[in-house]
Chains A and B, each alone.
Chain A
Amino acid sequence: MSFDAERARKDFPILDQSVHGRPLVFLDSAASAQKPQSVIDAVSHLYSRDYANVHRGVYELSLRATLALEGAREKVATFLGASARDIVFVRNATEAINLVARTFGRVHVGPGDEVLVTHMEHHANIVPWQMVCEEIGARLRVAPIDDSGELILEEFEKLLSPRTKIAALSHVSNALGTVNPAQEMVRMAHDRGVPVLLDGAQAVPHGRVDVGALDCDFYVFSGHKLFGPSGIGILYGKPERLEAMPPFLGGGEMILSVSFEKTTYAGVPHRFEAGTPDIAGAVGLGAAIDYLESLDLDAVAEYERELLAYATERLREIDGLRIIGTAAHKIAVISFVLDGVHPHDIGTILDQEGIALRTGHHCAQPLMERFGVPATARASFALYNTRSDVDALLAGLRRVREVFA
């Protein structure tokens, strides 16, 4: 099998439009990816034919909705190389991290203990830990990165101590695109008895992830970055980890029996899914995974690598452009700054050219500080982007140079 991006592009109806009179060039998939027609259809089909609340009614529609939801769980599990009972539906990666911080974290982290993160984390993998550390009197430690945006592995290893109760690490950096040697990091941590949570929000859209091979204790991602709907996310946990965790939110769905004296909680994964879940979101995510499984994912990854190389080379043509994040192993994300032009101005001018690209701190302010910039412009590519999108970006950046001449 091979991969044809021009053909894949046609599966995403939103891309076929003009913005400010120019063909839309969408370069912000790292923030949220667009949806193929099959995902839109799956959500629409559920609401038009199969919708009712799940796990409740004995009637046909409730059964169909329940099968659709649990079917989606199976698909996610297969996609990650896990089994369905290890998969918890949450709202997004942020909620998944908060869940682990508030349950696993609160049980295992004590006063004087440490939680280890890296300098390239998204705020979502900093703040929940910071909150728990503050509450408990524990300490957040930060593994440093080098000037290319790569984690300094020796330093990371040194920071793993008997006090470290969990390492929460990004698999792939959202702002730099750096792919971390996750397997090696997990091994280092496990050698010292430290459990690991991997934030896979930016990793899953760009290649196969096998939680078994990674051997991580937790893996989290958001459905909307994986071409699925917004509002659905995934927490994977090793069964023995999930089993040992107390509930997160209380309510319906997560119980076995309730009396005013005592409530018995449901088993995993339902113990962590209080209330009616985002049924349509889960079904849409299942459809997104079906879509990805219909492609040759290795060919997609190879295609994106070539696109990244092309875009990197072309961007170097622009005078005064500096790429932030030049790790040897990257996903197709390019953060950059332009001499004398603030990223926000770049964003506004490119928008007028029909180009959607993210500007700002990318929810990674400590990382921006590390590189001494308040913000960057970030072009992020997905399987539906092509070389002509890169060429449009180049033309747009020349226009920025003209305006700010």
Chain B
Amino acid sequence: MSELRELYQSVILDHNKKPRNTGEPEGANRSAEGHNPLCGDRLTVHLVVEDDVVRNVGFVGQGCAISTASASLMTEAIKGKPVEEVERLFDSFHELVTSDPTAEVDPTRYGKLAVFAGVREFPMRVKCATLCWHTMHSALEGAGQPVSTE
């Protein structure tokens, strides 16, 4: 039961209920669509990128608590950050949710995103947490191809 509490921490439940940065921000110049064929969830991430900085970000979509909260927290984490730093965050988030569940998580490295450490105990749910990040990454790269978790 404690594992469940780890997964559904209050921060996650809060961001699920009241997701931040939803919708398409004005002046969005990058976007990508993400798709999880396993559950049928879809998500679009819009970015305003200027001078190699993510000035604004928003997302549109419907998903489970983990995927909604992850998208919401991601937007907070990357807003205003240089693209280079956002790319680093993308890598470390992936590392966080796929690392050994027994490994200690350094809260100073992940900040608020550390709440997703609980996902490690639920391998079937890792894709829920990473969908938005992959979608955002694809938007940054401007690949234009819809992202799939499969």
Name A's B-contacting residues (CB within 8 A).
340-345, 348-349, 352, 359-361, 365, 368, 374-375, 403-404
A361 to chain B, nearest CB (A): 4
Are A361 and B39 also in contact (CB < 8 A) when A344-B125, A348-B125, A403-B8 are?
yes
B64 interface neighbour in A344, A352, A361, A403, Cβ under 8 Å? A344
CB closest residue in chain A, given B42: A374
| B40→A344 contact, CB < 8 A | no
| B65→A360 contact, CB < 8 A | no
Query: Which chain A residues lie closer than 8 Å to B64 at the CB level?
Result: 342-345
A374 interface neighbour in B17, B39, B122, Cβ under 8 Å? B39
Say yes or no: is B3 at the interface (Cβ < 8 Å to chain A).
yes
Among A341, A342, A359, A361, find the residue whose CB has the most chain B CB atoms closer than 10 A. A342
Query: Which chain B residues lie closer than 8 Å to A360 at the CB level?
Result: 38-40
Name B's A-contacting residues (CB within 8 A).
1, 3-4, 7-8, 13, 17, 38-42, 62-66, 68, 122, 124-125, 128
Determine the distance from Cα of A340 to Cα of B39 in the docked complex, in whole angstroms: 17
Determine the distance from Cα of A344 to Cα of B7 in the docked complex, in whole angstroms: 13
Query: Which chain A residues lie closer than 8 Å to B65 at the CB level?
Result: 341-342, 345, 404
| B66→A361 contact, CB < 8 A | no
Query: Which chain A residues lie closer than 8 Å to B62 at the CB level?
Result: 374
B147 to chain A, nearest CB (A): 17
Number of A-B contacts (CB under 8 A): 50
Are A374 and B4 also in contact (CB < 8 A) when A342-B65, A345-B66 are?
no
A339 to chain B, nearest CB (A): 12
Given contacts A344-B66, A348-B4, A349-B4, 16 further A-B contacts (CB under 8 A): A340-B17, A341-B65, A342-B65, A344-B125, A348-B7, A348-B124, A349-B8, A352-B1, A360-B40, A365-B40, A374-B39, A374-B63, A375-B39, A375-B40, A404-B8, A404-B13
Query: Which chain B residues lie closer than 8 Å to A349 at the CB level?
Result: 4, 8
Are A403 and B38 also in contact (CB < 8 A) when A344-B64, A344-B128, A345-B65 are?
no
A365 to chain B, nearest CB (A): 6
| B7→A374 contact, CB < 8 A | no
Query: Which chain B residues lie closer than 8 Å to A342 at the CB level?
Result: 63-65, 68
CB closest residue in chain A, given B125: A348
B124 to chain A, nearest CB (A): 8
| B66→A352 contact, CB < 8 A | no
| List of 6 A-B pairs having minimum Cβ-Cβ separation, nearest first | A342-B64, A344-B64, A361-B40, A345-B65, A360-B39, A374-B40
B52 to chain A, nearest CB (A): 35
Query: Which chain B residues lie closer than 8 Å to A341 at the CB level?
Result: 65
Query: Which chain B residues lie closer than 8 Å to A374 at the CB level?
Result: 39-42, 62-63
Query: Which chain A residues lie closer than 8 Å to B17 at the CB level?
Result: 340
B10 to chain A, nearest CB (A): 11
| A344→B4 contact, CB < 8 A | no
The 12 sampled A-B contact pairs (Cβ below 8 Å) are A340-B17, A343-B64, A345-B66, A348-B7, A348-B124, A349-B8, A352-B4, A360-B38, A374-B42, A374-B63, A403-B13, A404-B8
| B4→A368 contact, CB < 8 A | no
Query: Which chain B residues lie closer than 8 Å to A352 at the CB level?
Result: 1, 3-4
A285 to chain B, nearest CB (A): 28
Determine the distance from Cα of A359 to Cα of B64 in the docked complex, in whole angstroms: 11
Determine the distance from Cα of A374 to Cα of B67 in the docked complex, in whole angstroms: 14
Determine the distance from Cα of A342 to Cα of B17 in the docked complex, in whole angstroms: 11
Query: Which chain A residues lie closer than 8 Å to B39 at the CB level?
Result: 343-344, 359-361, 374-375
A363 to chain B, nearest CB (A): 10
| B13→A348 contact, CB < 8 A | no
Determine the distance from Cα of A348 to Cα of B68 in the docked complex, in whole angstroms: 15
Query: Which chain A residues lie closer than 8 Å to B66 at the CB level?
Result: 344-345
CB closest residue in chain B, given A344: B64
Query: Which chain B residues lie closer than 8 Å to A344 at the CB level?
Result: 39, 64, 66, 125, 128
B39 to chain A, nearest CB (A): 5
CB closest residue in chain B, given A352: B4
Query: Which chain A residues lie closer than 8 Å to B40 at the CB level?
Result: 360-361, 365, 368, 374-375
